[in-house]
Amino acid sequence: MRSFAFVAVALTCLLVTPAAAQTGSEPNLVLTILGGAVTGHDLWTIDKQPLTVLGDPSRHDTLALSRQIGSSLMFGVAATYFPSPHVGLHAEVSYLGLPVDSSCRGVYFNPDTSGGIDLHRNQQMCDDIQAQAGFGGAVSIFAGVTGRAASRRTFSPYARASLGLVNQPRSMIEMDAAFVDPTGVQVRRVLSDPNPRNTSVMFGAAAGFTSPLGPGYQFRFELRDVIAPIDRLVGPANSLGIGPTARRTYHHVGLTLGLDVILERKGRPKGLVDVGGRRILDRVVEAVAAVTGAPPLLVANAEGAASWRSDLTTIPDARPNCGSLGGIYTAVAAGDGPVLCVAWDMPFVHEGLLRALTTGSAGWDAFLPESDGRRGVEPLCAVYGPACRRAIERRLDAGDFKAIAFHGDVRVGILPLQDVRRFGDPDELFFNVNTPEDLDRAEAVWRQRG
């Protein structure tokens, strides 16, 4: 019977399974197509605006003029890049609309006769102003910072702050109106804007959430506020149509729905997440080293894996893209004797269980613990001898990557389930962290254990 000493001159390893080496990925480059609605507001009102009677500068009619920005549909496209899990940079171009409606009510009209005909020209202009369709077409372009939480979950809230520009196609003050006289249709300028400022600096704030729709897509819900200064008329205009103006900051609240196209994802290596305040990798290394008396080998393919534990030797898969079986093969091929393989995402693997596997492996080419899982055994917490190398090679060459595919070609021993239970619940001993939900469960188990 072999003694435990065989481990000291053999190879021990931590197996990072290539098929599931992360706790779940998070979008870090996203293209968003969005649409929604934005609210409007009153802009300015002049209750008594004098307007010269055409042909008689000594007489003035009086109009009540006002302008409002109406509610409108909006749509746009945005891109967001997250260089870190929680903080990102975004840019957006969107059509805000912000249609401008004009209103006019006659307060007093003088007679407007020519050749015995009452033309009512100023009254016609007032009616024309009242009937004019709203004009809009405001476009915004901005960039800013996005902060998000729970980026790997099914519900990921976020907030955004933005700075940019809003462009209106026309002045918010200037006003023209049409009338008909014996010579035909005429247009008269009622209000002038000698210094129109169509482009304004805008500030934006938004909050919302995203939720996955499927591979590569997310649903986005967002409440936003576009804050921009707009020129407004603050008093009656003179005979030239020029009046006092001032800028005022307005809020334009919008509700948008969006479709996110995820162009790039970034995952976090699952063995590097904390359970109970400590990395899973460090827990597994400690348990393996306590049994073997030496630091284990780390089989990992990720770029930068060597930096995860600088005290460990790290090697990539000898047979890439072969799943867990390729990782087991790499461990077996790297040494001359039996190897103890443990997946690096098992936070509750027990030192006593590993010791039972090493001491019980004598006389077997592969020695695995019995489990309640679908395979009946746990191949990622087991001992494998040199004889497994050729048997695994044949399965890999045949394209059979099941972790237990080669068992029929070697002598396989089983640590009975009742012996496994001496070290804890098998569901917890062999529990591995593959998803955010798994991580939540692992934390709950750790808290329950105290």
CATH code of the domain covering residue 397:
3.90.550.10
Q: Token pair for residue 419?
A: 């012996």
What's the rounded mean pLDDT across residues 334-357? 91
Residues 204, 88 share a domain: yes
Q: Is residue 293 part of a domain?
A: no
- pLDDT of 341 over the 80 cut: yes
Phi and psi, residue 440, nearest 5°? -60, -45
pLDDT at 10: 34
Distance between CA atoms of 404 and 423, rounded to whole angstroms? Answer: 24
Residues 30, 15 share a domain: no
Residues 244, 321 share a domain: no
Residues 153, 90 share a domain: yes
Q: What's the burial of 321, exposed, middle or buried (CB within 10 Å: 0-12/13-18/19+)? A: exposed
Which of 219, 247, 266 is the last residue before a domain boundary?
Answer: 266
Residues 47, 11 share a domain: no
Q: Is residue 292 part of a domain?
A: no
Q: In degrees, to the nearest 5, what angle opens at C-alpha 371 toward C-alphas 370 and 375?
A: 95
Residues 49, 16 share a domain: no
> Are the beta carbons of 221 and 212 closer than 8 angstroms?
no
> Are the beta carbons of 222 and 206 closer than 8 angstroms?
yes
Residues 174, 34 share a domain: yes
Q: Is residue 157 part of a domain?
A: yes
- pLDDT of 20 over the 70 cut: no
Distance between CA atoms of 61 and 55, rounded to whole angstroms? Answer: 13
pLDDT at 328: 93
Q: Is residue 250 part of a domain?
A: yes
Percent of the chain past pLDDT 70, that is, above it, reads 93
pLDDT at 25: 63
Number of domains in the chain: 2
pTM for the full predicted model: 0.61
Which residue range is the domain that position 197 belongs to? 26-266
- Measured distance between the N- and C-terminal CA atoms of the chain, rounded to whole angstroms: 39
Residues 241, 373 share a domain: no
Residues 236, 120 share a domain: yes
Q: Is residue 131 part of a domain?
A: yes
- pLDDT of 270 over the 90 cut: no
> Are the beta carbons of 369 and 360 closer than 8 angstroms?
no
Residues 431, 348 share a domain: yes
Q: Helices 351-360 and 280-292 meet at what angle, rounded to 10?
A: 40
- pLDDT of 19 over the 50 cut: no
Q: Is residue 273 part of a domain?
A: no
Residues 401, 438 share a domain: yes
**Domain at 103, CATH number:** 2.40.160.20
Distance between CA atoms of 149 and 209, rounded to whole angstroms? Answer: 9
pLDDT at 7: 33
pLDDT at 21: 46
pLDDT at 3: 35
In the chain, count H helices and then E strands: 9, 24
Q: Is residue 363 part of a domain?
A: yes
Distance between CA atoms of 410 and 393, rounded to whole angstroms? Answer: 13
Residues 249, 306 share a domain: no
- pLDDT of 216 over the 60 cut: yes
